[in-house]
Amino acid sequence: MLDPDTLWEIYKEENKKMKCHKCNKSMTYVKGIQFNEYKIDGWKCTCGEIHYDPEQAQKVLLLNKLKKEVIRAKLGKIRSNLILRLPKDIETALDLEKGEDVLIKIEDKGIKIIPA
Ligand SMILES: [Zn+2]
């Protein structure tokens, strides 16, 4: 029995064989296509048509949206440590995971958190 992760990998492999909706030719899966100021994966056709990986494109759009906002968060406390709860959107957009290290930089007007 295949576990869901393996099935998903197979599903994604299958979907890499994508047909162009303009000319119906097979599209090639390419890594690092320019999308806004980011590079994501997607499918390219010889006719010039590009189909971006929807999951990655979604992340870039979410990131761009979040960059324009000021996000308010509350500080909590566990024992003697202050904790900062990050909204789900930030977790998704920056691919953050529980247990992961981040870097904290003190700046003149606050702190900057950088995924390590
Ligand atoms: Zn095409």
How do residues 47-97 score in pLDDT, each as one tens digit? 999 999 999 999 999 999 999 999 898 999 999 999 999 999 999 988 899
Dmax (CA) for the chain in angstroms is: 62
Q: Using the mean position of ligand 1's atoms as its centre, give its distance from the Cα of residue 47 in Å.
A: 4
CB neighbour list of residue 52: distance below 8 Å, 6 or more residues apart:
33, 35, 40, 41, 42
Closest CA to 64 of 87, 89, 32: 89
Average pLDDT value over all residues in the chain: 89
Which string of DSSP letters, residue by residue, matches 66-91? HHTS-----EEEETTEEEEPPPHHHH
Q: Using the mean position of ligand 1's atoms as its centre, give its distance from the Cα of residue 45 in Å.
A: 5
Averaged over 22-32, what is the pLDDT?
93
pLDDT score for 3: 75
pTM: 0.67
Averaged over 40-44, what is the pLDDT?
94
How far is residue 19's CA from residue 43's CA, in Å, rounded to a whole number? 9
